[in-house]
Structure 1
Amino acid sequence: MTTGQDASARTEHRADATIPGPRTGHPPEVTVLRDPAAFAALADEWQALHRRCAAATAFQTHAWLHSWWLSYGRPGRLRVVLVRRGGVLVGAAALTVRYRGVPVWVPVGAGISDYADVLVDPADPGNTAALADALRTAARGAVIDLREVRPGAAAERMYDAWRGPRRRLPDSVCLELPGRPMDDLIARVGSSSRGQRIRSNLRRLDAAGVTERDVPPDEVASAVAEMLRLHLLQWQGRGVNPEHVRPRFRAHLTRACTLMAASGDAVVSEFTMGGEVVAANLTVLSPALAGGYLYGAHPSLRGTKVDVTTLLMRHGVRHAAGGGREVLSLLRGAEPHKFHWRPEHVTNHRLLLAARPLTPVLHLRAALAQGRTRLAARARRHAPVLHAWRSRLNDWRATRP
């Protein structure tokens, strides 16, 4: 152990010819990094591995993870487990330690990432087991708690290869649509009147003169600031997520999205009407998926004939179907306006892993997680009252320094 502007153009940026490809037939070499500077230095090597992992999302890019660490990481808590073969990185997991009676290793990016995963080069089936064994050795005495694992992720294969106590639990539900042209998505709604309403909304967008543009990397910082300003205006008085107004969140998005816009892993877009920016949106991109992460829309749009949901869906279709991606993800959140499009409900998984001596602790954490799920279901049955209370609480939190 040692310490240490368009879819085609964005696709071209994903190539990286400076890093050697995967090697098979070499024994695995394991490294555990605790030094943030060493994590920062992994950027090129990490991204080369990320490009070889078809199931990985933008939330596993080095830009997103390292930026999260700079905003949210705590000194001494970083644990980056790496597996190399012949000097080439073939497996990686970025984790951080939290203490809940026992040490718990959770993914870097937890809390604000819709999907968590590890990176495993698919060229050699043994890479998955090698990373699982490396994590089991490095985290001995701790529980590994991987939340928001998307079906088909590399972490699921690692779970299958795990040699020790493990539990799989349901986690958040993400809503997904196929990456198809708008006409195909309208046909999915199953109601001629609803389909006509969507087409009418599209015509109104054109009549209102709404235009959109993808912001170049050198303008991302100002565009993110404007998006967050509009986001706060949009939710003011209705329970804004207090994290979205904190300086650390803004700093993270600015850093990460500037790099991700340049590499084709994200796009920040602005929508203008009458020469004024009335909405802005952040979309995360991967070869298989385009996902709307965060948006802000000026409240004045409520008094116009511009339907914000249709605006964002048209934008998402451009980057999903237009970029050859199979999935248009609406990510986490069950807002009512999303259901008009009849999306698929795809449940993320929570994977709990431990070495054998921690079996009782593992089951206790699983029981606590299941208890929280039952409480959340009960809360939904009393949604109107609880939502009003939570909205007032979040508005109060958002105004605190």
Structure 2
Amino acid sequence: MLRSEIIDDPTDLEALEPHWWELWSRSPSATPFQSPAWLLPWWRTFAPGELATVAVWRGDDLVGLAPLYLECQAAGARLLPLGISLSDYLDVLCIPETAEPVAVAIADTVLSLGWSQWILQDLPPGGAGLAIRHAALESCQAVDHAACPVLALAGDQTLQGCVPARRRRQLRRAHRAASRRGRVSIEPALSDPQTFLDHLIRLHRARWAGHGDGVLSYTRVEEFHRQALPQLVAQVLARCWLMTIGDAIVGAYYGFHHRGRAYAYLGGFDPAYAEESPGALLIGQAIRQAICESAEEFDFLRGQEAYKYSWGAVDRWTMRKIWTRSKGR
């Protein structure tokens, strides 16, 4: 027997964390972006509307979770997922054996809220949110939303089995160029998340200066990452690297690893070292580490920037689905 509730108090959302982790670990479509390490700091930092998260219980076990909030507009309220904008994948969480009744329970519960549109975007292929149906809901057909280029991993530390030969030659040339300027090292930077973020923010802002300034130029985005990264590190989900040439830290890489997939989330480099391609060298190191950790895929996440395809990545699309209320409901 399932029971559902609407969580509209942030304190109650925080209290859900241990149950949330257990559900997240058992949900097939879960990524780091649906974890409490990511979404709780997101809500604390942004809280852009009225919290309206749906939790579904079987006894004392959390078996379904739809982290949602209401965004009020003149044209009517929209029901949106927590994590929107900064998250590359969004979804509801459920365990396989209760997926169908949980989907019904979530739909039943959200119908008690006052909204005109319910939007789930950035749904991964096979995402649990795609299966939500209800007689009182009119849904548009799921449509492609964003391309996430993905590289299938194979081979060894030479990258020969997965990365095109041209890109591997470019990496060798970049490393030789960097070596001419001083000793080159790329080291993990997980022992002190805040110091890593200091370097990442500095380098990201330098990289994007005059070109839109980059996402880390916003104070609240920085605040969010300063809360989220230590928790991601504690859960062994984060992968952070710093590149040094001589005595200068010239590049930073921020990514994740979960269930056989590596995710490349953010990076930055010192434009004074652009000829040495620190960004590419860091990605090369991240791919090698992912292979070492038996990852099957390296996900470059949203965006069709040309450099992603130079690594051999191919597009995988997230989906977007919108529900409205059936007439008379």
The two structures have a TM-score, normalised by structure 2, of: 0.89
SS of equivalent residue, structure 1 residue 352? strand
The correspondence for 1:222, drawn from 195, 203, 208, is 195
| Contact 1:185–1:341, Cα closer than 8 Å, also in 2 | no
The Cα shift of 1:183 comes to 6.4
1:246 aligns with 2:225: no
The Cα shift of 1:339 comes to 1.9
Partner of 2:307 in structure 1? 337
The correspondence for 1:308, drawn from 271, 275, 278, is 278
Partner of 2:126 in structure 1? 152
**1:255-266 equivalences in 2 (<5 Å):** 255-266=227-238
Partner of 1:81 in structure 2? 54
The Cα shift of 1:79 comes to 0.9
**1:59-70 equivalences in 2 (<5 Å):** 59-70=33-44
The Cα shift of 1:129 comes to 2.8
How many Å separate the matches in 2 of 1:63 and 1:194? 34
How many Å separate the matches in 2 of 1:179 and 1:94? 32
How many Å separate the matches in 1 of 2:167 and 2:248? 30
Partner of 1:237 in structure 2? 210
How many Å separate the matches in 2 of 1:271 and 1:148? 31
1:71 aligns with 2:45: yes
Partner of 1:11 in structure 2? none
Partner of 2:96 in structure 1? 122
Partner of 1:165 in structure 2? 138
Please say which of residues 77-86 and 259-268 is displaced more in the overlay: 259-268
1:211 aligns with 2:185: yes
Deviation per CA, 1:274-311, whole angstroms, max 9, x where unpaired? 233211121022213211111111112114xx323431
* Structure 2 residues without counterparts, runs of 5 or longer: none
| Contact 1:120–1:127, Cα closer than 8 Å, also in 2 | no
**1:351-390 equivalences in 2 (<5 Å):** 351-357=321-327
How many Å separate the matches in 2 of 1:124 and 1:197? 49
How many Å separate the matches in 2 of 1:185 and 1:358? 58
How many Å separate the matches in 1 of 2:20 and 2:122? 21
SS of equivalent residue, structure 2 residue 6? strand
In structure 2, the CA distance between the partners of 1:194 and 1:110, relative to structure 1 (3 Å rule), is: closer
Equivalenced residues, count = 325
The correspondence for 1:272, drawn from 213, 222, 244, is 244
| Contact 1:72–1:248, Cα closer than 8 Å, also in 2 | yes
Task: Write the letter of the residue equivalent to 2:22.
Answer: A
Task: Write the letter of the residue equivalent to 2:267.
Answer: Y
SS of equivalent residue, structure 2 residue 96? coil
Task: Write the letter of the residue equivalent to 1:265.
Answer: L
1:94 aligns with 2:67: yes
How many Å separate the matches in 2 of 1:262 and 1:43? 14
How many Å separate the matches in 2 of 1:265 and 1:197? 29
How many Å separate the matches in 1 of 2:252 and 2:270? 9
In structure 2, the CA distance between the partners of 1:313 and 1:226, relative to structure 1 (3 Å rule), is: closer
| Contact 1:224–1:268, Cα closer than 8 Å, also in 2 | no
* Structure 1 residues without counterparts, runs of 5 or longer: 1-26, 360-401
The Cα shift of 1:335 comes to 1.9
Instruction: Please report the RMSD computed on the Cα atoms of aligned residues, expressed in angstroms.
Output: 2.4
Deviation per CA, 1:149-205, whole angstroms, max 9, x where unpaired? 1112221233xx444211122211111101334668545566x55543344445666
Task: Write the letter of the residue equivalent to 1:331.
Answer: L
Deviation per CA, 1:333-356, whole angstroms, max 9, x where unpaired? 222222212311111111112321
SS of equivalent residue, structure 1 residue 228? helix
Q: Which has the higher helix share?
A: 1
How many Å separate the matches in 1 of 2:233 and 2:288? 16
| Contact 1:28–1:130, Cα closer than 8 Å, also in 2 | no
In structure 2, the CA distance between the partners of 1:282 and 1:128, relative to structure 1 (3 Å rule), is: same
In structure 2, the CA distance between the partners of 1:127 and 1:120, relative to structure 1 (3 Å rule), is: farther
| Contact 1:297–1:308, Cα closer than 8 Å, also in 2 | yes
Partner of 2:264 in structure 1? 292
